[in-house]
């Protein structure tokens, strides 16, 4: 029971703190207007260059933008606590780490799914891209897999936050790499071969491919391997993230750099 309380109440409190305890309207410019802007920008670039369709760019950028809350939110699990001077207290508390971590990551993941779904629906409506109602649930599943993968990567970023002061820069760079290499805007076969190889090992790439297939009316059986790859990558990144968190926490404690990084 206590485990569940820490997970839910701690998670919700931490999520509110992500936005500086201000009104939820802060979500509007950063997580609703900005993704729509990105979708429109690339859809029009596609029209101007004659590459891809509106549908390609709408779903590509909507799913890719789920990386924004997932990367930044997951990173804030560490950096936000340090800024509030609560990181040391949190690490010293007897609260189970898994409940603390999951409580902080779940709202972030759900936020990523919400942002991507909003971008997909609003972008489609603005650009006149038809959305089949029957595909919404499978697409949401693919988005959830992609958001899961990004949250795993965000956890690694969070761990690095124990050593690096300016994690916002790293989060932005990771977001940029995902934009460039995940196939959101540039078809994977148009990437230089070296970059295309890296792309397969990044979160989002497989989830995005699955989302495109499902949005086009493909079945779960067709998108299954891509979904599985995305989830496995997410688990892999998550395990690396948790391990790094543990290692760097021990190091930060022994070197007394928890608050100094």
Task: Report the interface residues with other proteins, using CB under 8 A.
Answer: 19-20, 22, 26, 29-30, 33-34, 37-38, 40-42, 44-52, 166, 168-169, 172-173, 175-177, 179-180, 185-187, 190-191
* Nearer to other proteins among residue 20 and residue 225 (C-beta): 20
State whether residue 214 is helix, strand or coil: helix
Q: Which two tokens stand for residue 142?
A: 């693919």
Q: In the complex with other proteins, which residue's Cβ is closer, 172 or 257?
A: 172
Q: Which is nearer to other proteins, 14 or 182 (CB)?
A: 182
Tell me the C-alpha distance between 102 and 174, whole Å: 22
In terms of Cβ atoms closer than 10 Å to its own Cβ (0-12, 13-18, 19+), residue 163 is middle
Q: From the CB of residue 248, how many other CB atoms can be counted at a distance below 10 Å?
A: 21
Shorter beta-carbon distance to other proteins: residue 46 or 203: 46
Contact of 214 with 139, CB cutoff 8 Å = yes
Please say which residue, 185 or 229, places its beta carbon nearer to other proteins: 185
Minimum CB separation of residue 181 from other proteins in Å reads: 10
Q: Minimum CB separation from other proteins for residue 101, in Å? A: 26
Specify the residue, 146 or 174, whose C-beta has the smaller distance to other proteins.
174
Q: Least distance from C-beta 99 to other proteins, angstroms?
A: 30
Could you give the CA distance from residue 259 to residue 162 in angstroms, rounded to a whole number?
Answer: 9
Task: Assess contact for 81 and 93: CB atoms under 8 A.
Answer: no
The least CB distance from residue 66 to other proteins, in Å, is 16
Alpha helices in 28-181 (DSSP H): 34-49, 54-65, 67-83, 87-92, 97-127, 133-160, 167-181
Write out the two tokens for 224: 């299954």
- For residue 2, count CB atoms less than 10 angstroms from its CB and return exposed for 0-12, middle for 13-18, buried for 19 or more: exposed
- Shortest distance, position 5 Cβ to other proteins, whole Å: 30
C-alpha span between 190 and 174 (Å, rounded): 20
Of 6 and 124, nearer to other proteins (C-beta) is: 124
């Amino acid at each position: 029971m206590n485990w569940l309380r820490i997970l839910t109440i701690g998670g919700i409190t931490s999520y509110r703190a992500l936005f500086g305890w201000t009104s939820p309207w802060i979500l509007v410019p950063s997580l609703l207007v900005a993704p729509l802007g990105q979708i429109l920008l690339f859809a029009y670039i596609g029209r101007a260059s004659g590459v891809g369709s509106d549908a390609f760019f709408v779903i590509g950028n909507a799913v890719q933008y789920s990386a924004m809350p997932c990367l930044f939110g997951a990173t804030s699990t560490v950096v936000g606590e340090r800024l509030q001077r609560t990181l040391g207290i949190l690490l010293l508390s007897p609260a189970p780490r898994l409940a603390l971590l999951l409580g902080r990551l779940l709202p972030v993941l759900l936020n990523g799914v919400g942002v991507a779904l909003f971008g997909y629906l609003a972008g489609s409506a603005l650009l006149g891209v038809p959305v089949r109602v029957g595909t919404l649930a499978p697409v949401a599943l693919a988005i959830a897999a992609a958001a899961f993968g990004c949250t795993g990567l965000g956890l690694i970023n969070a761990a690095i936050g124990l050593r690096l002061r300016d994690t916002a820069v790293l989060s932005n760079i990771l977001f940029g790499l995902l934009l460039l290499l995940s196939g959101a805007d540039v078809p994977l076969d148009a990437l230089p071969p070296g970059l295309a190889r890296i792309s397969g090992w990044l979160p989002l790439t497989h989830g995005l491919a699955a989302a495109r297939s499902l949005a086009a009316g493909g079945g779960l059986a067709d998108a299954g391997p891509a979904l599985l790859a995305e989830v496995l990558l997410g688990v892999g990144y998550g395990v690396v993230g948790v391990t790094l968190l543990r290692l760097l926490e021990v190091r930060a404690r022994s070197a007394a750099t928890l608050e100094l990084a």
